[in-house]
Amino acid sequence: MSLIRLPGWMRDDEAEARLYRHVDQALAGAAEAGHAADMARLEAVKGWHEDDKALLESAIERAKGSGDRLAEARVAGAYGGYLGAHAQFEASLAHTARAIEILGTLGERTHQARTMAVNGRCYSARAGKLDQALVFARHVRSVADELNDRELQAWAAMEAEPHYYRGSWNEAIRTAEHTLPVAWEIREWAVVLFSSAWLALACLKLGQADKAQRVLDRVYTQAPHLYKDSALGIPYALIASAEVQLATGRHNEALNTVRQALMAAQRSRFRLEEVAAHRVLGQVHAAMGDRAEAEAAFRRSLEVLDEIQCPPELAQTLLAYGRFRRGDNSQEDRTLIERALRLFEEMKATGWIEEARGALAAVSPV
């Protein structure tokens, strides 16, 4: 249980297998001794890493019955993380809020801040609650600096996500560049992968394609590939790489990269990453002149979005699809972009609002 919280613990497949052996042995021992709280914690660890929802739900009930408030908080946080990774954002936030509340009551400031950093900030942003995401992020930074906690300081780089969704490109860059060095130093690879992706995408929005490429080159040349290509962080980094390749005219490279991202997202059932990969795949096919393939990819992105309800990604797909269709049917084109604009306005996503208004002006008048 201590090992799993250490950044960079999964050095290779052997280390991962060794961890599972320890978990299974500890779980058997806890069951024999009748230690319900320990069983709940261990079931949560195993359920998360084996993608076993039933085991996580068992852990939730066992933790509640144990009377151990800390165990209840830890399991609620783990289940919230699992639900969020599978794009069940509202359900994730409900369990996350429970964990945050209990941890606050128990005075567990560091653990509470980490729950805010990992689950609270991320899944609030993906649910379109950008103000709430930034409140969580600011609290994490405050606690990290007060306690000089390097892990929390590394996770502060993830504040780039709500800034990117808000269209605050300069803020996304400033945040990531300020705190990513800590993530590299302590080998917090999920932070390195995600935050580097948002940093690169924000650079791309400001016309800094060369800088975006350098950011991603470092990820692929200097970060050890501790994660399998289907694991957390890799699909999003590949999506960012495909966008940079597309922007710089390397269409075949972009096509290969985004297909890798899509396969990795689908293997891990990461629905948000699947949405983004389909959207970028549509943009690549459009740039290559394959309109039928582009149409199918954009529509598939929207189909998955119907299942997960993620306003920031939905607005981006509607905008990209509306731009692609420009001229096919001016009424339908405008409807897509107007819908995107309304979503961006609801989220106060200033940079995206400007983009959507520009795209709307370029559509033939009705």
Domains of the chain are 1-127 (1.25.40)
Asked whether the whole model's pTM tops 0.95, one would answer no
The upper half-sphere exposure of residue 258, i.e. CA atoms within 13 Å in the direction of its Cβ, equals: 26
- Rounded Cα distance, 257 and 206, in Å: 22
Report the amino acid identity of residue 53.
K
What are all long-range contacts of 82-85, with beta carbons under 8 Å and residues at least 24 apart?
82/47, 82/48, 82/51, 82/53, 82/56, 84/119, 84/122, 84/123, 84/126, 85/232, 85/270
Residue 253: predicted pLDDT: 98
Q: Which one has a higher pLDDT value, 199 or 225?
A: 199
pLDDT band at 228 (very low <50, low <70, confident <90, very high): very low
Provide mean pLDDT across the span 190-205.
Answer: 96
pLDDT of residue 231: 64
Percent of the chain with pLDDT over 90: 73
Residue 333 has pLDDT above 50, yes or no: yes
DSSP-assigned letters across all residues of 255-279: HHHHHHHHHHHHHHT-HHHHHHHHH
Separation CA 180–CA 12 (nearest Å): 23
| Model pLDDT, residue 335 | 93
In 42-197, which ranges are E strands?
none
Distance CA 275, CA 86 (A): 12
Average pLDDT value for the chain: 91
Tell me which of 2-16, 95-109, 147-161, 236-250 is least confident.
Answer: 2-16
Calculate the dihedral angle through the C-alpha atoms of 63, 65, 67, 73, rounding to the nearest 10 degrees: 30
Q: Which residues of 251-261 are buried (b: 16+ CB within 10 A; e: fewer)?
A: eebbbebbebb
Q: Quote the pLDDT of residue 74.
A: 92
Task: Round the CA-based radius of gyration of the chain to a whole number and report it.
Answer: 21
Asked whether the predicted pLDDT for residue 230 surpasses 50, the reply is: no
Block residue for tokens 């049917």: 329
- For 345, the token pair is 């306005």
pLDDT digits (tens, 9 = 90+) for 23-45: 888 888 888 888 888 888 888 88
Question: What is the SS3 assignment for 37-51?
Answer: HHHHHHHHHHHHHCC
User: What is the average per-residue pLDDT within 335-339?
Assistant: 95
**60 with 27: CB under 8 angstroms?**
no
